[in-house]
Each structure stands twice: as structure tokens, then as C-alpha cells.
Amino acid sequence: GHVSFRVGIWKAIDAGYSSIDHLDGFIEGMVPGIDSLDEQKTGLFGIFVADRADTTQTRKLMTALRTHNVWVVPTQALAERWLAPLPSEVFERGQEMKYMKQEDLTAWVASKKSMMANAAYEPAKAAAYVKLRRRLIFECQRQGVGLLLGSDAPQVFNVPGFSIHHELNYLVNSGLTPYEALRTGTVNVAKYLGKSANTGAVKAGYVSDLVLLSGNPLDDIWQTRNIEGVMLGTEWLPKSWIQGELKKYAKR
């Protein structure tokens, strides 16, 4: 879930959160004197105070998360597509945007431009913030903190379905191997939900929810986009059917 500013990451961990989304509270929790700051001045997920973060606290944070078995859903796509210092046009032209309502796309563009127009927003610091998030994601993986796949769609420039492919790529860019990234949406999910006995892996007797790809995502994580079909239990959904359904939603 989310971590409110008044609670903070350390109390949230001690309170027994089972999962935390967005790395919420991570950066703020590493900023000395954070309790004396106005919440509104810290920015979304700590973007305006990231340059003050004491990164020597990273190990302490990872140890606390691991010890309390708190799982993390990074939703790095939010940071890379909304908060990073890239113009909205970069994402607005994405092929998947044709599946969104025009009013939603317009709102996303306005939201990103509003963020970048904030007096506290500095492109260089925003870029460093995104890199710090990548480092925290990598440290979660390296130090045994469970990671789960999620993009928080539909959010700014995160189209449902399509955004998961971006998220996988951002996880790899953060230092995970493609194999580790794929586990965040398969094996790890089953483990988190307590369903490892029959889901989350390709094994005899397991639930047969499968995605068939035309390429190997272990070589290139973007191969997850090349879907030939989906198996839902005993029902096979071929590529032709999937494309037909997508056409119903395309506007441009």
C-alpha cells in the first residue's frame, strides 16, 4: 500500500505492511530531519528532497524490509514516464496511446507539464532522483527484498497492459536480469499470495495461465511484447483474437 508522510517508512515497516507500492516513503525516510519539513515541499514520492537523502541508510532500509517480509511494487514506470525530465511529446506519441480516451491523454499531458513547471522542479535533480530509485530497486533485488510487478496503470502515460512491458524494461535498466524481472510478475506473485503450490510457474498440475511469445525475453526483455497467444486455463486466445479486440479500442 501507500505510506503516508506522517507515518513514514520506518513506522510503516514496523506496523506490519505486507507490501509497499511506488517505493513510497523510501527516499523521505533517508532524508535527515524529514519530520521538520512540510509534506508539500517534499514532492511526489520525495522527488524534491532526493538530493538530501543519506544513501548510507540504504542497507538499514533493505534489512528492515527483508526482516519484516515487506514486499515492494516499484512502479518505476511512474517515475520514468511522469517525473523524469523528458518532454510529454516523447510519450504522447506512443502507439499504445490510441487505446486511451482523448480526455485522459490530455489530462496526462497537463499533469506532466504541471510537474515540470513546478518552481521546485529541476531537471538535473529529477534525473538524479530517477537514478536513485533505480539503485533502490537494484538493492531490493540484491539484498533479498521481494519485488512484485506493477505499473499503477492507468496513470500518467501508463496504458493498462502495455505499461507492464515498460515496467519490465525499467526493472532491467535498474540492474535486474530479464529472468529476475520476469519473476516479479510470476513466481514472486504466487509466493506473495501464498499460492506457490499451483501457480506462478510452468509445471505439471499447475494452473495453465500462460503467455506464448515469439521471441526469448531472457535475451531481450522487450520480447514480452511479441505475444502469439494467451492460455487462460483451458481457453486459448490466439494473436488474431487479441488484435481484433484491440482494434475495438483503438481511436487513431
Beta bridge partners of 20: 72
pTM of the model: 0.96
**Contact 14/60 with Cβ under 8 angstroms?**
no
Domain ranges of the chain: 8-197, 208-252
Pick the CATH number of 8-197 from 2.40.160, 3.30.420, 3.20.20, 3.40.50: 3.20.20
Task: Output phi, psi for 232, to 5 deg.
Answer: -115, 100
pLDDT of residue 186: 96
Measured over the CA atoms of residue 29, residue 32, residue 36 and residue 42, the dihedral's sign is: negative
**Contact 236/229 with Cβ under 8 angstroms?**
yes
State which H helix or E strand residue 242 sits in.
helix 239-249
Tens of each residue's pLDDT in the chain, 252 residues = 899 999 999 999 999 999 999 999 999 999 999 999 999 999 999 999 999 999 999 999 999 999 999 999 999 999 999 999 999 999 999 999 999 999 999 999 999 999 999 999 999 999 999 999 999 999 999 999 999 999 999 999 999 999 999 999 999 999 999 999 999 999 999 999 999 999 999 899 999 899 999 999 999 999 999 999 999 989 999 999 999 999 998 965
pLDDT of residue 208: 86
pLDDT in tens, 42-75: 999 999 999 999 999 999 999 999 999 999 999 9
Amino acid, res. 33: G
pLDDT of residue 251: 67
In the chain, at which residue ranges do the beta strands (DSSP E only) sit? 19-21, 71-73, 210-213, 227-232, 235-238
The DSSP bridge pattern shows strands 235-238 and 227-232 to be: antiparallel
Which residues, 6+ apart, have CB-to-CB distance to 123 below 8 Å?
85, 116
